[in-house]
Amino acid sequence: MFQRILIANRGEIALRVIRACRELGIESVAVFSEADRGAHYLKLADEAYCIGNAPASESYLQINRIISAAEIGNVQAIHPGYGFLAENAHFAEVCRSCNIEFIGPPHKAMEELGDKNSARRIAADAKVPTVPGSEGLITDDSSAAELANRIGYPVLIKATAGGGGKGMRVARNDISLKAGLKAAAQEAEKAFSNAGVYIEKYVERPRHVEVQVLADTHGNVVHLWERDCSLQRRHQKLVEESPAPNLPLSVRQEMCKAAVRLVKSAGYTNAGTCEFLVDKDHKFYFIELNARIQVEHPVSEEISGVDLIKEQIRVAAGEHLKLKQRNIKVNGAAVEVRINAEDPDNDFRPSPGRITDLRIPGGGGIRWDSHVHQDYVVGPYYDSMIGKLIVHRDTRADAFATMRRALAEMHVGGIKTTIPLLRRIFDDAAFNDGNVDTTYVERTF
């Protein structure tokens, strides 16, 4: 087992990994930018090194500086968290070539799956259903139009290097297709330095259901069931829950089996998530594999009793998975909300500033994963999530009642947050009935 691990991340997920290390008896080395200097969570690590200025491009994305910190800190492994370099195959390769284990999959699998279009091909080879669409990248407008007419409008133009909902455009006819291809390629080039786009059938009002998988380096793969993340705003998740409501067990089992098949055939190891869209007839289609721990991982931890970060570390150290599929049961129901420093009354613009007053809910069934505290200053540089509130109860109805109570207790003063929107969501009848799709929030709120 590793003696020391560096965490190449910040905020909530850095603290989550620090905590897992502490419980495993592993020393943790944190890194921070000038904007995060003095943050309280850094004091919980055994050591912390400054790696540059506030902009991520000058700190958390600086591979050289992170590797230098890892060498000074004398660590055997790096945990990348999510975001920043977490899905950067080059970073994984650099770590390993410096004899530092990257706590994640092999870089080759990351490369192949990180490109969404090539991931579609791998999925198809593993007999995992994908959304009907282009076989390769779009090269010219006329063949794109031909394809769009063949699969039928509406179609979705997607960036092959895409993430965070960027570089996506719905096209409902040849004219909007032509304009959309150009706009999506430009947006993708700007955001990911890769203008490659492809086309998928636009699934109308789908649910987003994803499967958590865990694979060791000895060929053992298990799944930890699914999470329903249909409640989104502009393709960004707001609420996640497990198990997925109103989805027959047989469908859930088929999806989980498909995810395991895909992971095996891709030679993937460590924790990962297979994302699927589910249509009204409960047909499911693979959309992408996320080669990292995800924001919403606590939901699966709560229902399965498995600590995913600890498992990631064990698997990266070469240990065999001790988990057996038949022993991984869905225990009760869990739900998570993301609390963002955003102003719901002003188009969800970031709302940085000092948290002048913070009241965290407590009591049975509640988990709060966050690095913030009273007087913490939310900066303008990084993503706006300030914490995750997670509830675990015996039934979905009980979990929702506890979440409603927790959101009523919660108070964050000094900045605007998404809490008022979340309260309304948990009062919504259709959501309580498990009757929503990925477009619901925008249509209803």
When asked if residue 190 is in the footprint of ligand ADP (CB under 6 A), the reply is no
DSSP 354: E
Q: For residues 183 and 181, give the distance between their C-alpha atoms in angstroms, rounded to a whole number.
A: 6
> Between 396-409 and 419-426, two packed helices, what is the crossing angle to 10 degrees?
150
Residue from 36, 101, 187, 200 binding ligand ADP (CB under 6 A)? 200
The only residue of 55, 163, 352, 353 in contact with ligand ADP, by rule CB under 6 A: 163
User: Which one is catalytic: 16, 65, 252, 292?
Assistant: 292
Residue 331 CB, nearest approach to ligand ADP (Å): 26
> Using the rule CB under 6 A, is 202 a contact of ligand ADP?
yes
Please, which residues bridge with residue 198 across strands? 158
For 81, list phi and psi in degrees, rounded to 5.
Answer: 65, -145
Q: Does 438 bind ligand ADP (CB under 6 A)?
A: yes
> x/- contact string, 274-313, with ligand ADP (CB under 6 A)?
-x-x---------xx-------------------------
287 or 412, CB closer to ligand ADP?
287
Tokens representing 149 are: 């007419």
The answer to whether 292 is a known catalytic residue is yes
C-alpha–C-alpha distance, residues 308 and 301, integer Å: 7
- 411 makes contact with ligand ADP (CB under 6 A): no
Task: Answer positive or negative: Cα dihedral of 202, 285, 389, 435.
Answer: positive
Q: Residue 208, interface with ligand ADP (CB under 6 A)?
A: yes
> Contact between 162 and ligand ADP (CB under 6 A)?
yes
In one-letter notation, the amino acid at residue 36 is D
SS3 65: helix
- Cβ burial, residue 180 (10 Å; 0-12/13-18/19+): buried
Q: How many residues does the chain have?
A: 445
Provide the minimum distance between the beta carbon of 165 and ligand ADP in the complex, in angstroms, as a whole number. 4
Residue of 131, 256, 385, 441 that binds ligand ADP (CB under 6 A)? 131
How big is the site for ligand ADP, counted in residues (CB under 6 A)?
19
Query: If binding is defined by CB under 6 A, does position 207 make contact with ligand ADP?
Result: no
Beta pairing, strands 207-215 & 236-242: unpaired
CB of 261 within 8 A of CB of 125? no
Residues of this chain that bind ligand ADP (CB under 6 A): 131, 156, 162-166, 200, 202-203, 206, 208, 232, 235, 275, 277, 287-288, 438
Active site residues: 292
